[in-house]
Structure formats: structure tokens, C-alpha cells
Structure 1
Amino acid sequence: MTSTPPDTRNAAAAFPWRIFGPTLVLMAGLAAYSAYWYVAAGKTREAIERFAAAPAEKIAVGWDAFSISGFPYRIEAAFVAPVIRAPHAPEAWEWSAENLEADFLPYNLRHVVLKIDGGQLLKYRDVSGPARQTHWVSMISDGAWASYVAIDGAPVGRLAIDINNLVALRDTGTDKPAAKAGAGKEGRFAAGRLQLHAQPAAAEPGSPPAPGDAASYDIALQGDDIDLERLAASQVLGERMTLFAAQARLRNLPASANASPVEMSREWLANGGKLAISDLAIKWGALDLMAQGEVTLDRQMRPEGRLDAAIADYAGLVNALVKAKVVKEKDARVALVGLGLVAQLQGDKSGRVHVPVLMKDGRLFLGPLLVATLDPLF
């Protein structure tokens, strides 16, 4: 008796592909993604370690411990006690933190999100005078985040920074301050929240600047509940600035690999750099100001330019300047009479007085009044 061989075609047709097929495809996709993630994570580790091992021509980096994790949603590079140095820059600056987490998107390694935990310490050398003093700034916050996206052809990519409840203390000296920094002998700065956004200002939407060309950058900066101590202006306006908000365009920023903020600023000025402010708002004690204009630096690195400002209570501000002996009472009376007439002609229903803010030859004028001298920034 002969046996009939099984019908393999019927067996194949009987296999429930409609049920198990999608599962098998999903499993294959997960396996492929897992392989891709581990390859990308390995290349990320190699790139970070290779950068750290390179000679410190511009920037040197280091850490006490380094690990890669985050599968499957991100590639998380965690650093314990990270340090970034620019030893050859005039400022010889150095930044360190307790912990730093850098999250890369597996599908876009050009985008990194940074999170800083614990305290930070910034060391830099003051190059504005012959003393060349070393300053230490110890910082602590409830949260510090940054997002950076590299853009082809742009000197700097798209950057966003968000810091909550920042407290910074500055000390001067050659020795590193203790872990529990003192009262900040040189000053204290605090802010409820600081936000910064910067991105290339393309001539056409979606088109980055050509490589090597000067670029313009759109910048938005906002600070809320800012505490300022030991500033000359604080004696007039108080130590609490309720709001500082600005939208501006940084013009003619040249491509540069320089690690020195001072040298980068000089390159920018040599390239015709200007800061065009489209919207500025300051609420600081008696000062309630809205302004727009253009600012640069003169040859002595002092602010220079003009802002067209609208001030809510010009009389109250002038009285505060007189009380602090910044402005003479006689000059204040003349200014108030003249600006009162101007305000009537302007017919601003909001009650604001429109006055120019002029920065020239190291002096700051608020309308007709000389209110401050301007020191070199560096």
C-alpha cells in the first residue's frame, strides 16, 4: 500500500499569516531598530571619547564617569563631574557641574537636549583691565535645560536655554571657592526664570546662510523676577527687576571657531556687527520702559547707539534720579517741563512719554538728561 505525500501547498495556505504576519514584521522591525540604536549609540560614544582625547587647541573636555543608556527612545550620555575648559583663550575660562545629561534623538543625532543637575561653577579671567583678576561664579538652580540643533552652513545652530530659580554668587581670587560659597563677595544675581532662544535669520524661510558668509541671528531673551545687587543702577531703581524682555537681531556674525567670547566679539565688531533691537521691555522700580533701536560697541568696547523709548512714568523716574543724586534738581525741572510739552504734542493715550536713549562716548542720556557713564564691557 502506497502512502500519499502531504500537500505542502495546503499547509502553507493553512498558516494564519493574517494573524501572525504583522507580528513577525513588527518583531523584525524592532530587531532592526535595536541593531541601529546600538550602532548609533556606539558611534556616539566613540565621537565623544575621540573629541575628549583630541589635543586641546580650542576646547578641552573631561569627566569623572561617563555612560550611555536610554534605549529605546533616546541615546542618553550621562556625565559625572563634567568639565569644559578653554585654556588658551584670554579669559582662560572653565565650566564644571555636578552632573550633565545629554540626550540625542536616535533619528536625528544633530539635535541634543542637555539637562544639568546640581551646582555649577564658572571660572574666568577678567581681561577688561591690567589686573587680570580671576573670578569664580557658583550657580545653583531648580532646573537648567538647553536644546541645540546643528544647522549646515551656520556659524551657530538653533539654541534654546531655560533656567528656573537661578542663584549665582561671584567671588574673586586665585583659589577655588569652597563647596558652600560664601555671601558672594563680588555680588549676587538671582532670577525666577531665564529664557534664551537664538536661531539663524535666513534671508528666505528654510534657507540657512552660505558657508563662510556672515550671518544674522534672531535672539529672544527674557528674565523674570531678577535680583541685582551692587550695581550703580540698583541704588536708583532698587534691587528687583520684575521683567526684562528683548527681541533682537544680531547682524553680521562671522563664522568663527574661536573659544574666546572677547575675541569673538572683536571679530563681530570688525565685521560691522550691530544689535538691532525690535522690542525691548524693562520693568525695574520706577522704570517702565518699552524701546527699539540699534546698538553696537565703540573702539573702547563701550555700548554705543540709540534707542527710541516710551516711558510710562517719566516724572517718577526723574524724581528717583534726583533723589539718588544722579541728576541735579534744576536739570530735572527743566527736563520735565520740556518733556511735558512734548508729551502733549505726541498725544500718546497710554500716558507714555517718548524719549530717545542715547549712548555716546561712554555716556548714557535719557532724553536730555545725562544719567550714567558707560564702562568698557571688556
Structure 2
Amino acid sequence: MPSRSFLIAAFLVILGTAYAAYWHLMADRLEQGIERWAEQQRAQGVEAGWRELTFDGFPLQFRARLSAPRLIQERGGNAWSWQAESLTLEALPWQLHKIAFTSDGKQAALLNGRELAFDRAEGTLRLDGSGRIAEADATLSRLALAPGAGLQGATAETLRLAARLPEEAPRGHTDPGLFVEADLSGLAIASRQALPVEGPADLSFRATLMGALPTPPDRTRLAAWRDAGGTLEIESLSLDWAPLSLDASGTLALDPALQPVGALSATLSGHGPLLQRLVAMGWVRPQDASIAAVAFGVLEKPGSDGRPTLNTPVTVQDGFLYIGPSRLAPVPRIVWR
């Protein structure tokens, strides 16, 4: 009669063999899944490809390595692309719906002729039961934006972008359609003309898009989303860019021309020095600045750091930004395709 040790050893051998077979079977299926996804993208006009795809990670991980990955969309009004030296996708055998990704080496994204280069991208994806992306979180490091639109370029230390779909699809404009987050740190802008702000800037943004997601965001779908009552609810917007500090929340929508309109409640500090710089540079008319300064003097209070702090409504209307009743500056027009 076989000993207990022999039976245990035999069981472990059988179990290990079965697991090895499972791992290699799943690796083949995952590789086929990546290939099918690429074919689906090509059918939608996006060139998805790579030089080589390999799998490893046995026994505790599934790891796909893609060399020279690329995504290129040239058709339609919004041409874009992304190319990198490498991309690594990792998942645990018992959590295949959660995928970690890392892209090292020089890479670049191109949108309507503007190139954004960065050294590293990493993050996570969460898939729903049908295999679609339900949540994404990505951090880009050491970014550089090519010159254009009046700028000589811009750099940033990190950019984090995150998006999450709700558990249930929105039935109307009062239901959330997408939760979004963005954090930008160490932003430095090189401009052909002097700016009223200085030093690196930090920006943080949290918002919820209400109503069905307008995908893709072309004029027809955006108009339908607007007409159905769609809005962007901003839970928090914070900006630190000397001399200005801003914290705001509120609601944005689209007007009949598909331009932003909205109302926010904001807390400002450093607004006085900023206004003086704007006037000196000719960005704000002296008469508008005088009206704003009077309003500031009435409304502002000392903050915890001793600087004057202003709690005021901020509105976007008719192509202009207003702080309280004072028209401060024009809002750049958005060109939709």
C-alpha cells in the first residue's frame, strides 16, 4: 500500500501538472484576446499593432510583453496616435479582470498635430463581466508638450488621469455617466509672451459627467447630450499657480453653440496681485480691473495664512469668465469636429 508521503507527492504532481496546463491554456487565450482586441480596433479605423508579443510570468502571473506598441487613428476629424518602446501587461491568475500596465522608455502621443512626449506610463485597468474597460487609472511621468498655439512648449513632472463607469448605465441626465479625476503636478509653461503667473503649477480636478456618455464627442452627439440635460458636475477644482490659489466647485454645461457655460463657487487668494499683473500686461482693461478691485475689497476676508481670501461666484457665459459681477477674461473657444 502506498505511503501517505507518496500519495501527497503524487497529488502535488498531478495538481502542479494541471495548474501548468491551465496557465498555458489561459496564456494562449489571453494572447488570442489581445489579437482580437487589435482586430476590433482596426475595424473601427484605429491601427493597433506591435513588433513582437511574448508571454511569461509562470506560475504566479500572466505577463504580456509588447515591443514597439502603437495605436494610430488617422481617419475622421480628430487624428491621434500613441507609440512607445515597450508595454507590459500583468494580471494574477485569480484576478484576470484587473490588469496592471507599464510602458517604459521614450514614447509620444499625438493629437491634432500636437505631440506630448513622456518617459513612463503606468496604471491599472478593471474589466467588467463582458470584457469592456469599466475603470482606468494612468500616471504619466516627465511630460513635455511640443510648441504650438502661442506656446513655446510645456513640461510637467506627472499627470494622473482616471475614469470610472457607474455600476448601472444612466437612464437620464440625473444619473452619472462617468466619474473622472485628473492631477497635474510641476507644470511649467514656456510662452512667447510674459505670463501673469510664475513657477510650476499644480492642478487637481474631480468631476462627474451626468447623462449618457457622448461617444465619440462629435457635434451631433454633444448636442443630443446637451439637449437631454447633460452636465459636468465639478466636485472639486484646485489650482496653485503663484500668485493665485483657487478652490472651486459647481456645474458646467454647453450653450447652443456647444461652448461652455456654468456657475461655480470659488475661494481665491492671490487674486489682487494677479489682477495687477493682468492689467500691466494688457490682458484686462483698466476699467474692468477697477470694478473688480472694488468688489474684491468688499468681499474678501483674511485667510488662515493672513492673505486676503475671496469667496465668490465664478461664471462662464457668452465666451467670458466672470468673477462676481466683473468680466475678467475671454474663454478660449472650443472647436468640435
Query: Are 2:297 and 1:340 equivalent residues in the alignment?
Result: yes
- State the Cα distance separating 1:120 from its structure 2 match: 2.0
- State the Cα distance separating 1:319 from its structure 2 match: 1.9
Following superposition of structure 1 onto structure 2, how do residues 212-361 of structure 1 map, counting pairs within 5 Å?
215-230=176-191, 235-238=195-198, 240-241=200-201, 243-254=202-213, 256=215, 258=216, 268-343=225-300, 351-361=308-318
2:61 counterpart residue number = 74
- State the Cα distance separating 1:119 from its structure 2 match: 2.0
- State the Cα distance separating 1:162 from its structure 2 match: 1.3
Partner-residue secondary structure (3-state), 1:322: helix
Query: In structure 1, which of residues 138, 157, 160 is the aligned counterpart of residue 137 of structure 2?
Result: 160
Query: Are 2:87 and 1:100 equivalent residues in the alignment?
Result: yes
Task: Name the aligned partner's letter for residue 246 of structure 1.
Answer: F
- State the Cα distance separating 1:245 from its structure 2 match: 1.0
Residues 303-343 of structure 1: per-residue CA shift (max 9 Å, x gap): 21111111123322222222222223444334323332223
Question: How many angstroms apart in 1 are the aligned matches of 2:88 and 2:137?
Answer: 16
TM-aligned CA distance change 1:229 to 1:295, over 3 Å: farther
Following superposition of structure 1 onto structure 2, how do residues 50-199 of structure 1 map, counting pairs within 5 Å?
50-53=36-39, 56-125=43-112, 135-141=113-119, 143-152=120-129, 157-170=134-147, 187-199=152-164
Query: In structure 2, which of residues 5, 15, 18 is the aligned counterpart of residue 29 of structure 1?
Result: 15
TM-aligned CA distance change 1:163 to 1:52, over 3 Å: closer
Contact 1:301 1:376 in 2 (8 A): no
Question: How many angstroms apart in 2 are the aligned matches of 1:157 and 1:231?
Answer: 41
Residues 120-162 of structure 1: per-residue CA shift (max 9 Å, x gap): 233343xxxxxxxxx1414122x21121112248985111111
1:47 counterpart residue number = 33
- State the Cα distance separating 1:250 from its structure 2 match: 1.6
Contact 2:106 2:117 in 1 (8 A): yes
Residues 89-116 of structure 1: per-residue CA shift (max 9 Å, x gap): 3213222222111223323333222211
Contact 2:156 2:186 in 1 (8 A): yes
Question: How many angstroms apart in 1 are the aligned matches of 2:252 and 2:195?
Answer: 25
Out of 329-338 and 275-284, give the one that drifted further. 329-338
Question: How many angstroms apart in 1 are the aligned matches of 2:191 and 2:300?
Answer: 34
Coordinate RMSD, CA, aligned = 3.1
Contact 2:156 2:188 in 1 (8 A): yes
Contact 1:212 1:254 in 2 (8 A): no
Task: Name the aligned partner's letter for residue 118 of structure 2.
Answer: I
Indicate the structure (1 or 2) with the bigger Cα radius of gyration.
1
Residues 150-203 of structure 1: per-residue CA shift (max 9 Å, x gap): 22489851111112222232569xxxxxxxxxxxx96422211222222234xx
Question: How many angstroms apart in 2 are the aligned matches of 1:367 and 1:97?
Answer: 46
TM-aligned CA distance change 1:28 to 1:261, over 3 Å: farther
TM-aligned CA distance change 1:80 to 1:271, over 3 Å: farther
TM-aligned CA distance change 1:325 to 1:278, over 3 Å: same
TM-aligned CA distance change 1:161 to 1:263, over 3 Å: farther
The normalised TM-score by structure 1 is: 0.76
Unaligned runs of 5+ residues in structure 1 are 1-10, 126-134, 173-184, 202-207
- State the Cα distance separating 1:87 from its structure 2 match: 3.5
TM-aligned CA distance change 1:269 to 1:20, over 3 Å: farther
TM-aligned CA distance change 1:238 to 1:264, over 3 Å: farther
Task: Name the aligned partner's letter for residue 253 of structure 1.
Answer: A
Partner-residue secondary structure (3-state), 2:146: strand
Question: How many angstroms apart in 2 are the aligned matches of 1:231 and 1:251?
Answer: 38
Out of 328-337 and 300-309, give the one that drifted further. 328-337
Taking only the aligned residue pairs, the percentage that are identical comes to 23
Which structure's residues are more often strand, by fraction? 2
Task: Name the aligned partner's letter for residue 49 of structure 1.
Answer: E
Number of matched pairs: 330
Contact 1:153 1:212 in 2 (8 A): no
